[in-house]
Amino acid sequence: MAADNPIDPIHQFEISKIAEMQIAGIDISFTNSSLFMVFAIAATMTLFILGLSKRSIIPNRMQMLSELSYNFIANMLRDQVGDQGRAYFPFIFSLFMFIFFCNFIGLIPYTFTVTSHLIVTFAFAGLIFLAVTIIGFMKNGLGYLRIFYPSGIPIFLAPLIVPIEIISYLSKPISLSVRLCANMLAGHSILKIFAGFIVMLGFLGFAPLIFLVVLYALETLIAALQAYIFTILTCIYLNDALHPDH
Amino acid sequence: MKFFLKIFIFVLPLSEAYAEGQKSAGLPQMDISTFPSQLFWLIVTFTALYLFMWKFVIPRLSTTIEERKDKISNDINDAENLNSEASKILENYDDKMNSASLESNEIVSSSKATMNEYLDKLKKDNEIKINAMITESEKKIHQQKQQSEQEIKKATIDTIKSIVSKYVETVPSDDEISKKLN
């Protein structure tokens, strides 16, 4: 149904194999998704290798960029979690850079957006959820269960509040992963649809072209914003695990 | 609007796929067969990135930033030291200026005093000289006056004598005439 439609907006999300691979009968072929994951980490590594090549007191542009991103995430973690969050900084920083570059590389026409696949964002969200839960129980013991019953709530409200809190806690990984994935999916689909309109309308195509330019700027903002939101929510969940009292 | 579009984009291919009997999954996101590969490569690439960040990027960046912070705080300290030194020098300079102006004032006033003294002295000397000259010239004037008075007297007496000798036989003596004249 999709192959013969030239402006199928979903086509860009299809996964095609580049090299067949199997481990114990499980298909782990190197696909276009894998390729763009490699691109994303290659872009991150290039940024930091170039940024760290000189390491001068007065930074050049690349060094400035890498230091800006470092300070941005470090400040975010310090503001949200405090000094105890320092141990998780490498993970948070890698997470942000990975999602950021996946989102941005996906904006280039004819590329693939790794983060538009729910399984990828859910893998991150699930990992974060598990890690946060384990950290919460390790740091607070059974006292971590207090997050399901906030202090200052009358006891007769407990049968109402506790299930709500449990549901909201369990839905965190789902909302976290779906938010990023749906934003990428919807944004890129709309871009594709409007790009198709330009071709279809011929001379009149300038109208959707103008709209596409505006939309593209919006999608650029969303690409950065969603990476930021994903990271800051991770910090907030981590803070809940480290300080369940508030 | 965007929300509806999202729902539309999610639901439309899904329903189509369902209609086609799930033979070709409508949304590539729902194709479970690609999940192991995606997860595997995600783990590989993200682990690589994590190790790179953890072992390579973060230590270097943090030391660079720390070094810069140290350098800046050192520079600020140096600048503060230099600043206090400069203000000390300025104070010193002000002190010296003040004492110098005091000294110069003293010099000016003392030289004024000596000048006045000198002028006064000069004036006094000149006054004395002038007075002396005045008295001398007064004396001279007086002498000349007396002299000319005597001469006039003498001449008068002589004139009177000669006039009187024309009319009278006995010529009066000078003393008589002068007595009469006074």
- State the ipTM, two decimals: 0.86
Q: A9 and chain B: CB distance < 8 Å anywhere? A: yes
Answer yes or no: do A45 and B49 touch at CB < 8 A: yes
Q: Which of B45, B67, B74, B75 to mutate to test the interface with A (most CBs of A within 10 A)?
A: B45
Domain contains B144: no
Query: Nearest CB to A55: which of B27, B34, B60?
Result: B60
Query: Nearest CB to B36: which of A28, A40, A91?
Result: A28
Domain parsing of chain A, residue ranges: 22-242
Answer yes or no: do B45 and A40 touch at CB < 8 A: yes
> Binning pLDDT at 50, 70 and 90, where does residue B3 land?
low
d(CA A3, CA B26): 11
Domain contains B17: no
Q: Which residue has the higher pLDDT, A213 or B182?
A: A213
| Chain A partners within 8 Å of B48 (Cβ) | 41
Range(s) of the domain holding residue B77: 36-139
Q: What is the CA radius of gyration of chain A?
A: 22
- Å between A135 CA and nearest CA of chain B: 19
A and B: number of Cβ contacts within 8 A: 140
Question: What pLDDT is attached to residue A2?
Answer: 40
Q: For residue B22, what are the CA distances in angstroms to A200, B15, B31, B35, B50?
A: 30, 9, 10, 17, 38
Q: For residue B128, what are the CA distances in angstroms to A8, A239, B131, B134, B138?
A: 130, 108, 5, 10, 15
pLDDT tens for each residue of B54-79: 888 888 888 888 888 899 999 999 99
Q: Which of B8, B61, B74 to mutate to test the interface with A (most CBs of A within 10 A)?
A: B61
* CA-wise closest residue to A105 among A16, A51, A37: A37
Query: For B139-162, what is the mean pLDDT?
Result: 88
* Domains identified in chain B, total number: 1
pTM as predicted = 0.71
pLDDT tens for each residue of A129-144: 999 999 988 888 887 8
With 0-12 CB in 10 A as exposed, 13-18 as middle and 19+ as buried, what is A105?
Answer: buried
pLDDT tens for each residue of A7-34: 677 777 777 777 777 777 777 778 888 8
Q: A41 and chain B: CB distance < 8 Å anywhere? A: yes
| Chain B partners within 8 Å of A100 (Cβ) | none
Question: What pLDDT is attached to residue B121?
Answer: 94
Domain contains B27: no
Of the CA atoms within 13 Å of residue B110, those in its CB half-sphere come to: 6
Residue A147 has pLDDT above 60, yes or no: yes
Domain contains B65: yes
Query: Nearest CB to A182: which of B6, B48, B52?
Result: B6
